[in-house]
Structure 1
Amino acid sequence: MTRHLVAAIVLTAIGTVAIAKTPVATGTGGAVATISEQASQSALAILDKGGNAIDAAIAAAATLGVTDPFSCGIGGGGFMVVYLAREQRVVTIDHRETAPAAFSPATFLDNGKEMDFDTVVASGQSVGVPGTVRGWDEALRRYGTMSFKQVLAPAIDVAAKGFTVNANFSRLVDENADKFRRFPATAALYLKDGMAPPPGTLLKNPGLASTYRALAQGGVKAFYEGPVARAIVDAVNRPATAPGVSVRGGKLTLADLANYEARIRQPVRSTYRGYELYGMPLPSSGGVTVLVALNLLEGWDLKALPRAQAEHLYLEASRLAFADRNAYLADPEYVDAPVAGLLSKEYAAQRRKLIDAGRAATGPVVAGDPYPFQQDASVPQRPAPTARLRQESAHTTHLTVSDKAGNVVSYTFTIESWGGSGIVVPGHGFLLNNEMTDFEFSGPGPNVPEAGKRPRSSMAPTIALKDGKPAFTIGSPGGATIITTVLQTIVNHVDFGMRMDQAIDAPRLSQRNGPTTDIEPGFDEAAQADALVRLGQRWASEPEEIGAANALVFNPDGTVTAVSEGHRHGVGSALVQKKGH
């Protein structure tokens, strides 16, 4: 049985058939929440055929690579958090992009000076070794029940038959048209007479359909070896550009692709108000930073405080957590980050004393010293904190799926900026990432580029357990604002008692240890904002939409509620299985 709790209903289209799209749904079987109706339908189709949550998550992700190609796809990478019901444990799959072997800390320096950021983005130099396909393969082989051929079938169908472009898709193309015009393969796929396709256009991607078919037949090797791999290397090293356009090439090799490995990592874990929270470990800073902030907030009974007072504490806890994130966190295979110390409740008690409940900090705060709380007899070297933080792209996607057996997936993946590097691999229909710009362009610091290194991420797919069973999932795109979106949604849901749809739809505030806090349009005019200003909070001058979250809530009566955005990013898509599946 399915019922729709309506936060908003819009019409979307699969092919040319318009159907209702709702961001909230409750039922008794498996469930899915994504930002795309086609992706949610793909996941549901796999669940209905007997696939588990892992199978369905990859089906949804592959479809998102067709319908939302500017934020994700097989040219990028991501992080998957999985709850395995039978074993009652949480595992994570790190398939973050890696730096090619030719990289060094000086890669983004020209005569000792940092290269122009935007110039690097739209070039082969920004492309990391894609990890998505390897991650999907690891997930299916270890924890899935289906083959590539089965889980890719829905996405192949959407790519081959086409989907109807909506206003959000058209807007994203328009905003990136200059970048796309530089590369003929990209322009041919996503531009119509040099302009964004208008809403209502039927868009097909035969190149991506062909690539997915190659994966369905040949498995993971069809991507990392052979014709597809050679096409990727050529596209990175010698980007085909429009007449008169010149961009930097990269130094990617076939060996870089063939040697790429996903990592199965232990999740980071902490407790909060009776919940066990599991998140993504390094090289994603998201899980650690969310948990550091929650440890700080645990010292106050937020639900008993006036709303503005509680939100002030949330912003100040986030500020402190980001100070530590920026100073210490990076790829754990290159940096000995003091994660145990950072997640220590005793460390949180010490850092909490720096928060003034009546007044905001006047600017960035310094990182703390977690090493006394490490309980590490080797006394690792304390790195020099970074002096500043490079802006992080806000363009990613998150999805979440559960199945009737109780398995749960919380999955965030990306190609970095909207449209990544802007380079579509000719003949293969997918955009390549610009993930290498997530490194700091110069040091010293833990997140400088190095050969084989994974750039630090903010992705924070999260699964919460209560009494040993799944309680909810949450995750979002948004660059560094992912961390604050996940953190604020947890506070809204757990502390303020909001239903998850209310927690997601509430106005978002993002403080990342900067002089001002990012807000969404219209918030600065609200009474809530005035109360925070009186506590010393200051707003960024240009409000913008923050995040596009998706969540699942496992209800006490045994039902599950899937929740997507009610108004952001064109409204999301939540679906549940009907009774009998």
Structure 2
Amino acid sequence: MRVLQTLLACCLLIGSSAIHSSEVQLPKQAGIASAHPMATAAGHKILAQGGNAFDAAIAVSATLAVVEQQSSGIGGGGFWLLHRAQDGKNVMIDGREVAPAAAHADMYLDENGEVNRDLALNGPLAAAIPGEIAGFEHLAKHYGRLPLAVSLQPAIEAAAKGFPAYPRIIRTIERKAKVLKRYPASMAVYLPNGQVPKEGELIIQSDLANTLKAVAKHGKAGFYAGEVAEKMVQAVRENGGIWTLEDLQNYTIKERDPITTNYRGHQLVTAAPPSSGGIAIATILNILSAWDLTDMDRVKRIHLVTEAMRRAYRDRSIYLGDTDFVEVPIQLLTHPYYAAGLRASISPVKAMPSDYLPGINDNPKGEDTTHFSIIDTEGNMVSATLTVNTGLASGFIATGTGVLLNNEMDDFSAKPGEPNAFGLIGDDANKIEPGKRPLSSMSPTFVFSDDQVAVLGTPGGSRIITMVLLGLLDHFDGNNVHSWVSKPRYHHQYLPDKLYLEKDALDPATIEALQAKGHVIHQHKGDWGNMHAVSWNKTTGAVDAASDPRTTTGSAVVK
């Protein structure tokens, strides 16, 4: 293990030294791509005030927590993958939520031993202890150069002055209305006068602005202690939750060594557990490394990629969890020899039913998470994926705080073999335990090569891993950042044993050919994800950024 870590460290040093060689042109402009123009503008504003990419990441994260609460928020958490230019350091800031101390493995089971999905998804019992605010302070103290209060100012203004309602948040409010109506504080924000906001109508969040001001003044203590913490705990417990002040005060940020792997002359740096994304992506790419996908027949390529997805998701369901609680065989799962064994079980002409793989005996669309990518003019980079779990999370705003609480407890395995809201299967490695972080699919990623750097990621629930994978494969094929975010998407996650297709992703002839190989096709009526990516050409210094064309609010700006 020590030898492997040393080799990986050497690879990282080689990669980082290449980035800083005399032949490399630093980025001529800064690029930010996020899910909302107010968030992208906030990031650029902080850069203009002398901040770096890490300060900008706080501004973008916090602003998204105000204007895109169907996807993220300070009542949730996330992963910030960082590359620091001055020394080539790559690190993942783990701001994932943790289970409260009173949580236990059977807390969502009814008298018949079945999962009560309403309790697991809606209301404060569904909420784990948030990590996003702690992440902000950690970024500011250890990587940024501006005071936290400066980086939070755009978000404070957005909450106090309001932002115009737009179609995506309106749709989510409509879908969540029955839950929101249970809680007066949620009603006041999302259903004023009992009505869903109309497009363009301002959504104002005065309580949230005050909470952000407390954080700006006191740092994370303004959230995890004092008046805000007391109000949150009181509201949670009055409505059936189990939080305590000690749960909040005991929350800690973790710095994780990213997962690294190599593919066709590219070095990938991606998310470590409690994300399953980095390991799954490494496994899939190691399986696929034996084939030249670029010039391959389309049907054969999709078939082989699907079979690799199937096997990686099978491993996800069995082995992966919070490494502070379970032993995850990272070295094994990311090793080329292990991938070679998985590859040997793939037939080039026939799909293998998932039931044939030893393991555990319709997904939502995934508008529940957000992603942004940043490169600054010094070469610092951030790839961040943030979440509250499902759309508008638990639906519960803690009275007097404006904080919408996550429903991240559903990302644990409430019962072995029982699918969660995204249809993902889990086992004991991801069971509920006090203080444990739930398994995630969030996959913020960097790619380094001799002449280019890529920063990308996406929301999308269980499909995050496969969407990032397809974007990576498109990058490896030599296409640009606008192509990565636009590619048609397909997905397989082991169970259910179906090949899911985005609307119009494949033509009828290709679908028929895949069915002939034994794939069970499930065609969706809509599209998936919301990818945001930035690239840097190290030869010319040119920076490009792109947001997913599937959404009207994506904002990619280079300046």
Task: With the length of structure 1 as denominator, give the TM-score of the two structures.
Answer: 0.86
In 1, the alpha carbon distance for the partners of 2:545 and 2:503 equals 26
Aligned twin of 1:344: 335
CA positional deviation for 1:208: 1.2
In 2, the alpha carbon distance for the partners of 1:390 and 1:226 equals 40
2:200 is the counterpart of 1:200: yes
Structure number having the greater helix percentage: 2
In 1, the alpha carbon distance for the partners of 2:363 and 2:103 equals 19
Q: Deviations over 1:227-264 (max 9, x none)?
A: 1111111222212xxxxxxxxx1211100000000101
Is the 8 Å Cα contact of residues 394 and 480 (structure 1) preserved in structure 2?
no
Deviates more, 1:515-524 or 1:220-229: 515-524
Aligned twin of 1:377: none
In 1, the alpha carbon distance for the partners of 2:295 and 2:503 equals 28
SS in 1 for 2:556: strand
1:2-401 correspondence to structure 2 within 5 Å: 28-111=28-111, 113-239=113-239, 249-366=240-357, 386-387=360-361, 395-401=368-374
CA positional deviation for 1:531: 3.5
CA positional deviation for 1:547: 1.3
In 2, the alpha carbon distance for the partners of 1:270 and 1:365 equals 28
Name the amino acid aligned to 1:484.
T
In 1, the alpha carbon distance for the partners of 2:246 and 2:112 equals 29
SS in 2 for 1:302: coil
Q: Deviations over 1:263-302 (max 9, x none)?
A: 0111111101111101111111111111110111111000
CA positional deviation for 1:308: 2.1
1:418-457 correspondence to structure 2 within 5 Å: 418-443=391-416, 445-457=428-440
CA positional deviation for 1:157: 1.4
CA positional deviation for 1:310: 1.1
In 2, the alpha carbon distance for the partners of 1:498 and 1:364 equals 36
Q: Deviations over 1:29-57 (max 9, x none)?
A: 11100010000000010111110001001
Would the alpha carbon gap of residues 557 and 175 (structure 1) be closer, same or farther in structure 2, given more than 3 Å must change?
same
Would the alpha carbon gap of residues 442 and 99 (structure 1) be closer, same or farther in structure 2, given more than 3 Å must change?
same
Runs of 5+ unmatched residues, structure 1: 1-26, 240-248, 368-384
Deviates more, 1:439-448 or 1:172-181: 439-448
In 2, the alpha carbon distance for the partners of 1:393 and 1:128 equals 19
2:528 is the counterpart of 1:559: no
SS in 2 for 1:446: helix
- State the identity %: 36
Aligned twin of 1:510: 491
In 1, the alpha carbon distance for the partners of 2:363 and 2:29 equals 43
Would the alpha carbon gap of residues 112 and 430 (structure 1) be closer, same or farther in structure 2, given more than 3 Å must change?
same
Out of 364, 376, 391, the position equivalent to 1:403 is 376
Name the amino acid aligned to 1:402.
I
Name the amino acid aligned to 1:511.
H
CA positional deviation for 1:524: 5.6
Would the alpha carbon gap of residues 500 and 537 (structure 1) be closer, same or farther in structure 2, given more than 3 Å must change?
farther
Name the amino acid aligned to 1:505.
S
CA positional deviation for 1:386: 3.9
Name the amino acid aligned to 1:435.
E
Q: Deviations over 1:475-508 (max 9, x none)?
A: 111111000000111112213x322212221211
SS in 1 for 2:428: coil
Is the 8 Å Cα contact of residues 32 and 40 (structure 2) preserved in structure 1?
yes
Aligned twin of 1:521: 503
Is the 8 Å Cα contact of residues 39 and 64 (structure 2) preserved in structure 1?
yes
CA positional deviation for 1:533: 2.9
Equivalences, count: 521
Q: Deviations over 1:346-370 (max 9, x none)?
A: 1111110111122222334525xxx
Would the alpha carbon gap of residues 560 and 420 (structure 1) be closer, same or farther in structure 2, given more than 3 Å must change?
same
In 1, the alpha carbon distance for the partners of 2:491 and 2:363 equals 16
Is the 8 Å Cα contact of residues 233 and 243 (structure 2) preserved in structure 1?
yes
Task: With the length of structure 2 as denominator, give the TM-score of the two structures.
Answer: 0.90
In 2, the alpha carbon distance for the partners of 1:138 and 1:295 equals 34
SS in 2 for 1:319: helix
CA positional deviation for 1:571: 4.6
In 1, the alpha carbon distance for the partners of 2:219 and 2:460 equals 31
In 2, the alpha carbon distance for the partners of 1:212 and 1:250 equals 23
Would the alpha carbon gap of residues 200 and 500 (structure 1) be closer, same or farther in structure 2, given more than 3 Å must change?
same
Name the amino acid aligned to 1:348.
A
Would the alpha carbon gap of residues 165 and 105 (structure 1) be closer, same or farther in structure 2, given more than 3 Å must change?
same
Aligned twin of 1:462: 445
Aligned twin of 2:17: none
In 1, the alpha carbon distance for the partners of 2:95 and 2:250 equals 13
SS in 2 for 1:136: helix
Is the 8 Å Cα contact of residues 370 and 458 (structure 2) preserved in structure 1?
yes
